[in-house]
Structure 1
Amino acid sequence: MMTKNNNIAKFLKKEYNRVKNGLDFSNPVKNKVKISKSKTFGLAVVRTIVLYGLAFMIIYPLIQQISVALREPSEINNLSVIWLPKKFSLDNIRLAIASLDYWNALKNTVIISTLATIAQLVSCSLAGYAFARLRSKFSDILFIFVIFTIVVPTSTLSLPQFIYFQKIGLLGKTYSIILMSLFGQGIKSGIFIYIFRQFFIGIPKELDEAAQMDGAGPTKIFLKIMLPSAKGAIVTVGLFAFVWQWNDGYFSSLFLRDTTKVLTTAMYSIQYGVHGHLQSLGLWKLIGGDITKNPLFLSMILNTAAILIMAPLLIMYFFVQKLFVEGVERTGIVG
């Protein structure tokens, strides 16, 4: 029993000396700094691990898609190929470009997305300014309807729009999407109106009053004071509107029909054109008929097509990422 107590006493003394050597009891401030530095370092390590983990989760599927796009079709069932293909080939890219009618669809997508974005900026900024400054007894009720468009599923609102466009003969017209955006009915217009409204509310009213004393009306105040001050909101809304319009397949297939092919609608019909383009490109003999019968072959071409659709957006983001981050910070969008 005595031996056991002696061992416990020695252990406690040893731990006491270890703690005493690490901490200076005569200087509690110094001890607090040491603990604070350790805590800060620990949080930095955890933050780094979480950020790298999230980055890997986002980037890994993209890397896999690029790997699939650049591999030979003969490696379709090769489980040993994970990151880099054993043999690089552009056959999948050539076939995906032909099946998508890529360059024509890309041109249409760029034109429609750009014009729709400009229309969204015009209509949503005007609506946001009206809700923020031009108050009336119906303003709150109307703004509830704006929030309603954010909450209600898109398919619920698109049915009456489709019926109305069908009656006036706008289905299948390229400008139908642009008209919707111009009149505040574009993709996510409710969110954009809300962003502009909140941003304009944050601008001091003293600026409006000073301009009114100089004889400026609502239009001049909007153009000369509000818009120049809303660069952050304009950049944020512009980028979101462009990306959402670019990736939209629902409204494009519903209103453009088959008359104007954009990248997303071309993606829907790619499976019907793959085998025909295999012969026209002279790839049928190179790839082999047995491989084309494999269900994974179509998946390989779809992966390649997805990369081709995303590529312009990724390139654009490299050039505008600084503006985008600044815009998000100024408008206060989080999550």
Structure 2
Amino acid sequence: MTTKNNDEKLTFKELVAAYKNEAKESYNTFRDNLRRPLTRAVYAQRISGVAGSLLRAFIIFGLSFIILYPIFQEVIVAIKDPIDLNNPLVVWIPEHFSLVNIQISAELLDYWNALKNNIKISAFTAVLQVASTSLAGYAFARLRFKGSDLVFWIVMLTLLVPPQTTTLARALYFSHFDVFGIFKALTGEALSLKGEGKDVILYMMAIFGQGIRAALFVFLFKQFFRGIPVELEESAQIDGAGVVRTFWSVMLPNARGCITTVSLFAFVWQWNDSFYVSQYGLSGEAFPLLTMRLLNVAEWVRNVLMSPQFKHLYYLVGEEVGSNPMFTKSITNTSAFLVMLPLLIGYLFVQRLFIEGVERSGIVG
């Protein structure tokens, strides 16, 4: 028995010695290789590649955290029970889960009615923006005429004009809308397009190239159409296609990525718009819109809590729950999350086309 243990100890020592010798040989080989300029260059290239990958991963992780942190925070706030508001131990994971914040926010926003109105306005506006700006972009890219470059740069300069400078003129125009005096001749007065639910103003602005950031969309389509080979148009012209047929049958089908990009931008910007909506008085109790309701959430919190449905919250957070700034902030954050939730869901379905359109439409590169 003793002999067997000694043999095992000797074998273990020999194994350790073998590992030491192997490590020493590897170190000597590495040291000898470093003395060769070519080997040093290879090692330096590998080290720089690894360092670059680590730096790139660190930057991507940091940017992702900065972008996603507010969203994660709003999700946590949305499912947190009001009883955890004054608990200093609750930071990320709530001790009590509840949908009370979501219920209150949905009632404040009149969520389903406002969601329906937002989708309708944003979708129609996006379609009209694509129609008008794609035509203008194609004209600037392919239909060259005298002074076309000057006209294009004038269009681009409209991006620098603050919308507030044209607010008064537009308000007066839409308050007394008339076409060659026709309405006044027929009815005795001009037609007023301003007022609650009269979203035709936004559609008119979109179809005539006056929508939100329309000049930017013209630029994107121009850059995209310039990248399409001219041979495709020449082949269509040989087959007898005119300008309109070429645009509709050749150019637009190849601009799917750019159309997706412009549609998404137009939809999101119209979804988040509160300037034009408030300026023309489109939103109200009979025609709610999410962005306008969101602006008043903090003021409405106490009024909603006075209703019998939410009276139990007074006993969870305190008698003055409506004036509690932490509770008001949590309801505001939850409402903001509900407003942007449809956009996040929609982006998941179009992200591939969106990235393709960004790469090919001139935003980068």
TM-score, normalization by structure 1: 0.88
8 A contact 2:302–2:323 mirrored in 1: no
Partner Cα separation in structure 2 for residue 100 and residue 264 of structure 1: 9
The residue type equivalent to 2:324 in the other structure is N
**Secondary structure of the corresponding residue to residue 24 of structure 1:** helix
- Shift of the alpha carbon at 1:321? 1.3
- CA apart distance, 1:26: 7.1
Hey, what's the Cα distance between the residues in 2 that align with 1:48 and 1:227? 38
Structure 2 residue 245 is the aligned partner of structure 1 residue 245 = no
Which residue is equivalent to 2:193? Answer: 170
CA distance in 2, matches of 1:23, 1:148: 64
For 2:105 and 2:82, how far apart are their aligned partners in 1?
Answer: 13
Aligned length: 319
1:318 and 1:216 mapped to 2: Cα distance? 38
1:296-325 deviation digits (Å, cap 9, x = unpaired): 222111111001011111111122111211
Deviation at 1:226, TM superposition (A): 1.0
The answer to whether the aligner puts 1:278 opposite 2:305 as a matched pair is yes
CA distance in 1, matches of 2:358, 2:32: 45
Q: Counterpart of 1:84?
A: 93
SS of the residue 2:240 aligns to: coil
**1:147-169 CA distance string (max 9 Å, x none):** 11212223223332222112221
Instruction: State the shift of 1:257 in Å.
Output: 4.3
Q: 1:279: Cα distance to partner?
A: 3.2
1:323 aligns with 2:332: no
Aligned residues of 1:74 and 1:287 also touching (Cα < 8 A): no
Name the CA distance, whole Å, in 1 between partners of 2:60 and 2:233: 43
2:150 paired with 1:127:
no
Q: Aligned-pair distance for 1:115?
A: 0.6
The alpha-carbon deviation at position 269 of structure 1 amounts to: 2.3
Q: Please, which of 306, 323, 333 is the counterpart of residue 293 of structure 1?
A: 323
Contact in 2 for aligned 1:235/1:324 (Cα 8 Å): yes
Whether the 8 Å contact between 1:67 and 1:84 is mirrored in structure 2 is yes
Q: Would you say the 8 A contact 2:223–2:362 is kept in 1?
A: no
> Normalized against structure 2, the TM-score is what?
0.81
Question: In the aligned structure 2, how far is the partner of 1:63 from the partner of 1:26?
Answer: 52
Superposed displacement of residue 334, structure 1: 3.0
- Asked whether the equivalents of residues 73 and 287 of structure 1 are also in contact (C-alpha less than 8 Å), the reply is no
Please give the residue correspondences for 1:147-162 in structure 2 after superposition, counting only pairs within 5 Å.
147-162=156-171
SS in structure 1 opposite 2:306?
helix
Deviations 1:180-227 (A, max 9, x none): 111111111110001001111222323323322332211011011111
Overall identity of the aligned pairs, in %: 44
Q: Could you tell me how far apart the structure 2 residues matched to 1:208 and 1:21 are?
A: 62
The 3 A distance-change label for structure 1 pair 149 and 43 is same
AA of the residue aligned to 2:204: L
Name the residue aligned to 1:14.
none
What letter matches 2:112 in structure 1?
A: W
In the alignment, which residue of structure 1 is the partner of 2:125? Answer: 116
Structure 1: tracts of 5 or more residues without a match? 1-17
- Which ranges in structure 2 are unaligned for 5 or more consecutive residues? 1-26, 178-191
Conserved 8 A contact 1:171-1:257: no
Bigger radius of gyration: 2
Q: 2:277 & 2:28 partners in 1: Cα distance?
A: 69
Alpha-carbon contact 2:83-2:96 (below 8 Å) kept? no
Distance 1:102 1:23, change over 3 A: farther
CA distance in 2, matches of 1:77, 1:141: 61
Q: Give the AA of the match of 2:168.
A: L
Residue in structure 1 matched with residue 53 of structure 2 by the alignment: 44
CA-to-partner distance for each residue in 1:232-275, whole Å, 9 max, x for gaps? 21111111111111111112222224363211011122234322
Q: Does the 8 Å CA contact 2:301/2:322 hold for their aligned counterparts? A: no
